[in-house]
Structure 1
Amino acid sequence: MRSAVAALTTGALCLAPLLAVPAPARAQPTVAIPALPAGGAQAPERRPLFEIGVFGGGGWVPDYPAAGQNHWRVLPAPYLIYRGEVLRSSDRGVRGRLFRNGDLEFSLSFNAAFGARSRDNRAREGMPDIDYLGEVGPALRYVAWRGDGGRRRITLELPVRAVFSTDLSDIDFRGFTAAPEAAFEHVGLFHPAARTRVSIGPVFASGLLSDYFYRVEDRYARPGRPAYDASGGYLGTRLTFSHRRPLTERISVGGGGRVENFTGAANADSPLYKREWNLTLFAGVSFSLYRSERTVDSASEPFD
């Protein structure tokens, strides 16, 4: 699937985070990697306001949530990182910070997802393709704990996003997704400028989005694939992990993955529901071509 629900709807600001997830309701681990200092240098207290570079990566991803097949996806793309006070674009996607007070932040976030060709998936053969998916919506984040001088933290986040699909000619509304999660983030693991993130949380999808993944209309029914009308509700639980680090001042590498379990999902009876477990793996490299002379203080926000 071409990735939650880690872009097509946000232009070059979010091209690199497209790799991460096979479905918008599962948005996200990403591998776009901003340039960081090389060698044993400590993470800088000031970083460029914006950077432009190129990214190349690939991943082994499920075609859709609870799909029975994975496929390799490759993504070469330009990327832009912007560290503004309100608008921020980074390896985790694009967001607009609308409110921040201490450890509490309210933002408008964006994400995107790959799609899947039904001809490549046995369960969906003869059905419409799953198009590229984009998400936009509010997200509330709270930093519940900080340690090691601010280089470690635990966050609680609740994003609620509208989901849209596109075949690059038309855009269709596909419902909503909510994905509360708890995340542990660490700057400096195995390398002073490396960044590591592990998160876990459930995913919920509206009826319209569930239909997009699991509904089988009468005209597409066949032996072994009866007609099915999907319903909204619990989609599954995901555990996501990623690690990225610099090789030189301008070249960085990263990788990670996602383990998802769909036991008890609202649409477990769908003939398109094939596996209770999905595994995603990804890796990539980025090269920073241009870094602005203007810099911003990053000491207080080492994770952005």
Structure 2
Amino acid sequence: MKHMLALAVLAASAATGAHAQDFGFAGREFSVDLGVGVDVGPDYPGSDDAEAGPWLIWRNAGFGTPGTNESEGFAISPSFNTVGEREASDNGDLAGMENIDRAYELGLRVSYGTGPLTAFGSVRRGFDGHEGVTGEIGAKYRTDLSDRVSLWSGLSLGYGNGDYNDTYFGVDPAEALPRRPAYDIGGGFNKASITFEARYALTENLAVLGEVEYGKLIGDAADSPVVQDEYQPSLKLGIVRRFSFGF
């Protein structure tokens, strides 16, 4: 994972550097917050229990004028996520269901910033627990309260293809019970979320980052008989360092 992250940083830096020169970003810099933290959220999609897991942070990437917090134009960066394992023995409602291992997701995130508004989209491929494709589209708005404190509020929609949604929300005929009928689900949007993010600068380049997400399963995912709770809140807290690359 360390080597993968290092390669992703180098690839993203090279890509954004080429983009900056090709599209007239001379005199600007590309900056990004990189760090680690803790993510406390549902054990797995649809769970009503929470667990703590690692948070690999790549946030607030974009071009801007040196010495400011403004990000403008397109930016491409890695997108990481993990999904907790699902053990049938941990919950009576899952009796007879196949266990699902912890999943690791790796992909890309594309964003476009204009002033305080940033639109984004991400896509990731899963490994181990699921082998589907998932991601989000959304937008967030930045408010700078001071030189040290910045807030973001955002809206997003989560998506999963057929393999992803079937892994976490589907019920095979062999797993069906009278109280849990077979359930076939295809790809589509599966979660809507409101997020609030805060960044507090400890030094010029070091900061504490926190995020609260209030998510709700939607569509066919919300109707799945294995969903224990449609509401999927999460809390993240970590420390980041800002890296800047001038052009």
Give the number of the structure whose residues are more often helix, by fraction. 2
Give the total of aligned pairs.
220
- Summarize the alignment of residues 35-114 of structure 1 with structure 2, pairs less than 5 Å apart: 55=36, 57-65=37-45, 67-75=46-54, 91-92=58-59, 103-105=72-74, 107=76, 109-114=78-83
2:86 corresponds to: 117
1:10 corresponds to: 4
Contact 1:8 1:112 in 2 (8 A): no
CA deviation after TM superposition for structure 1 residue 253, in Å: 2.5
- Distance in 1 between the 2:134 and 2:147 partners? 36
Cα 1:130–1:58 change in 2 (3 A) is: same
Structure 2: gaps (5+ residues): 9-27, 63-70
- Distance in 2 between the 1:231 and 1:254 partners? 35
2:19 corresponds to: none
1:258 corresponds to: 213
- Distance in 1 between the 2:52 and 2:43 partners? 10
CA deviation after TM superposition for structure 1 residue 200, in Å: 0.2
- Summarize the alignment of residues 113-152 of structure 1 with structure 2, pairs less than 5 Å apart: 113-118=82-87, 119-125=89-95, 126-137=97-108, 139=110, 141-143=111-113, 145-146=114-115
Structure 1: gaps (5+ residues): 1-6, 15-45, 80-89, 96-101, 147-152, 299-304
CA deviation after TM superposition for structure 1 residue 239, in Å: 1.0
- Distance in 2 between the 1:165 and 1:235 partners? 19
The one-letter code sitting in structure 2 at the alignment partner of 1:245 is: Y
After superposition, the C-alpha distances for 1:177-207 in whole angstroms (9 at most, x for unaligned) are 3522111123x42x41333222102222211
- Distance in 2 between the 1:108 and 1:210 partners? 25
- Distance in 2 between the 1:231 and 1:252 partners? 41
2:134 is the alignment partner of 1:177: yes
- Summarize the alignment of residues 210-289 of structure 1 with structure 2, pairs less than 5 Å apart: 210-247=165-202, 252-263=207-218, 265-285=219-239
After superposition, the C-alpha distances for 1:115-164 in whole angstroms (9 at most, x for unaligned) are 2232434543442124222131463x333x42xxxxxx1122233x2422
3-state SS in 2 of match to 1:267: helix
2:128 corresponds to: 166
CA deviation after TM superposition for structure 1 residue 274, in Å: 2.8
Cα 1:200–1:130 change in 2 (3 A) is: farther
- Distance in 1 between the 2:190 and 2:231 partners? 12
Identity of aligned residues (%): 22
**RMSD in angstroms over aligned alpha carbons?**
4.1
TM-score (norm 2): 0.68
CA deviation after TM superposition for structure 1 residue 285, in Å: 4.1
TM-score (norm 1): 0.57
